[in-house]
Structure 1
Amino acid sequence: MTSIRTARPEELPALAEHPGDTERNAATRAYLAQLLDSKCTRPEWCLVAEDADGRPAGSVVLWTIPGHAVPLAVVLFEAPADAPEAGTALLDAAAAKARELGATELEHVVDSPAQAPQFQRDPERRGELLRQAGFRVVRDGRRFSRRIPLAGLAELPADDPRLTFRSLAELGPGAFTDVLQDLLADTADARLAADVWEHGARRAAELLFEETAELRHEPDWWEIGYDADGTPAVISLPAENPSVPVIGFVGVVPAHRGKGYATSVVVRGTRVLAAHGATEVRGDCDAANVAMAKAFRRAGYENFADRLEFSRPL
């Protein structure tokens, strides 16, 4: 019989530790400490499963954007391979708690290969546990990373001279939502396409802008790039999440695709973040978005992981 309880103060930030796995234990401990410090989670959002003998048999942590009171996802999900019922109980308990706090959906991502900070080993088993608990895959993604050279901007690709960039500070949100609406009407991203189907292109564009705006950014970082004919061609929304600077969102307007602008806009976002001190930048795209994956590679990024994004309605 598995029981679920809130983690005790002395169990934080370690939670479920794996004997002999020093690298994993250190990384997950540091990650949870960071989440607690940044208010991405709270002690009462850290749950532990106990077996019939009262021994810890897994853990899960609710996560949100700093400053928010409603959980958005689960992280640090750990369940023993020989006790799948512990995994199901943890996910159900996390879902119930998130629902009580006002959440209508709960997400989780599984990265492969396993790596810091969560070390999600055995992704197939994890995926099966998630599906049994009511989660479904909403996106098959590819993750990319680029280290910024010590010389910074001097060693990065140059901006595309065909594009003229104007910032959010100059244009205001309306212009950005207009471009996003145009982009989302013809998107290769499964998750964004689902948003368009559910909400319509305009509302999906507004939601994408609002959600990306939750990440730390400055108004002059966000830009629309204009073609020589004066029409919007690309949009660049670089930002910083609590862990690393990211290419929050980039895209090419359908009328300007096929000109190599996808690489140009990734380069632009990278240069903006590098100019503000980034030493590494990450980005991601849907596996079906072949053009954007090529753009990341051409901009000097490497595909360091694949990511399955899961979601469970509450």
Structure 2
Amino acid sequence: MTSIRTALPHELPALLEYPDDAERNAGTRAYLGQLLDARCTRPEWCLVADDGQGRLVGSVVLGTLPGQEIPYALVLFEAPDDGERIGGALLDAAVAKARELGAQELEHVVDSPAQAPQFQRGPERRGELLRASGFRVVRDGRRFGLRVQGELPPDDARLTFRSLADLGHEPFVALLADLLAETADARLAADVERYGARRAAEQLFADTPELEHEPQWREIGFDADGTPAVISLPAVNPTVAVIGFVGVAPAHRGKGYAASAVVRGTRILAANGAEEFRGDCDGANTAMAKAFARAGYENFADRLEFSRSL
């Protein structure tokens, strides 16, 4: 009989492997190894489905950001193609474990087409399993990527950038509150409806520092008239450099400043050693999608973001 249990030490970091998918096996093994080394997950957060004879037929891993002790996401999830019961049991076990550890919400993302390092084959089926377990789609997103192959575009001469180290916290939260009041991002719009623009801004600014960054990377770009026009929050997550968040004040939209901020964030990350970059936006945020394209990024995948309250 199949049972759900914590992975044994010798089963890490490989967990469930597929006999005819060497690329996936190597990629997810390396990814989980990185997460364990960075303490973005823990051995006791790695759950497996055991067929009763020691053979693994499914797995799920809880994850968090560096320095945090409470999981917020499922970072790996695998279930057999014909194993709806097993997939549901794994998700239920992960939810129970996350709740036991103090989590109030749990997230999971599903990329299409399947991407390294999670290699999520069968995105439609994964979505069905997540919905059946109480998860709901909170964002239909687009993923963008860039690998530096030459000189990056120059900064926008119309903007003067000043950093968090120079300005302090308040101007960033004030600008975020202004732009979130008219956001095209479904997830952020839901936060505004739930908390109000100011609190949603404070929450967004409090969450993003959990990614690796330096205070001087976080900037506001000021228009020639001296008013704050655009915010840029580049960072590095456990596996890749990310644009993080870009937003334009409503009074300055339509000037191409979002693309300018993407370029600026890319230049900062490149100056600090990054060669590959990622960014994402809501599928409905066509202005941000155009900004990534103008900055040289390519839309390499779509991403459904799921969430479940615990």
Q: Which category describes the TM-score, using the shorter chain as reference length? A: over 0.9
- Pick the aligned partner of 2:196 from 195, 200, 214: 200
Q: Does 1:2 align with 2:17?
A: no
Residue equivalent to 2:178? 182
Residue equivalent to 2:168? 172
Residue equivalent to 1:257? 253
Residues 198-242 of structure 1 deviation map (CA, whole Å, 9 limit, x = unaligned): 111001000100111111111111110001111000000001101
- TM-score (normalised: structure 2): 0.98
Task: Give the whole-Å Cα distance in 1 for the aligned partners of 2:244 and 2:115.
Answer: 21
Deviation at 1:76, TM superposition (A): 1.5
Task: Give the whole-Å Cα distance in 2 for the aligned partners of 1:72 and 1:249.
Answer: 19
Residue equivalent to 1:61? 61
Opposite residue 3 of structure 1, the aligned amino acid is S
Deviation at 1:55, TM superposition (A): 3.0
- SS of 1:283's partner is strand
Q: Does 1:221 align with 2:225?
A: no
Task: Give the whole-Å Cα distance in 2 for the aligned partners of 1:2 and 1:132.
Answer: 20
Q: Does 1:238 align with 2:228?
A: no
Residue equivalent to 2:80? 80
Deviation at 1:68, TM superposition (A): 1.0
Residue equivalent to 2:39? 39
Residue equivalent to 2:18? 18
Task: Give the whole-Å Cα distance in 1 for the aligned partners of 2:2 and 2:91.
Answer: 12
Task: Give the whole-Å Cα distance in 1 for the aligned partners of 2:49 and 2:131.
Answer: 19
**Contact persistence 2:147–2:277 (CA under 8 A):** yes
Task: Give the whole-Å Cα distance in 1 for the aligned partners of 2:273 and 2:54.
Answer: 48
**Which 5+ residue runs of structure 2 have no aligned equivalent?**
none
Deviation at 1:262, TM superposition (A): 1.3
Alignment RMSD (CA, Å): 0.9
Task: Give the whole-Å Cα distance in 2 for the aligned partners of 1:119 and 1:227.
Answer: 42
Opposite residue 225 of structure 2, the aligned amino acid is D
- TM-score (normalised: structure 1): 0.97
Residue equivalent to 1:111? 111
**Contact persistence 1:2–1:89 (CA under 8 A):** no
Residue equivalent to 1:102? 102
Residue identity (%): 76
Opposite residue 128 of structure 1, the aligned amino acid is E
Residues 68-121 of structure 1 deviation map (CA, whole Å, 9 limit, x = unaligned): 110010121000011110000000000000000000000000011112101000
Opposite residue 138 of structure 1, the aligned amino acid is V
How many pairs were matched up? 310
Residue equivalent to 1:142? 142
Superposition pairs for residues 121-136 of structure 1, below 5 Å? 121-136=121-136
**Contact persistence 1:2–1:85 (CA under 8 A):** no
Residues 137-184 of structure 1 deviation map (CA, whole Å, 9 limit, x = unaligned): 0000100011123x5xxx111111110111100000111000000010
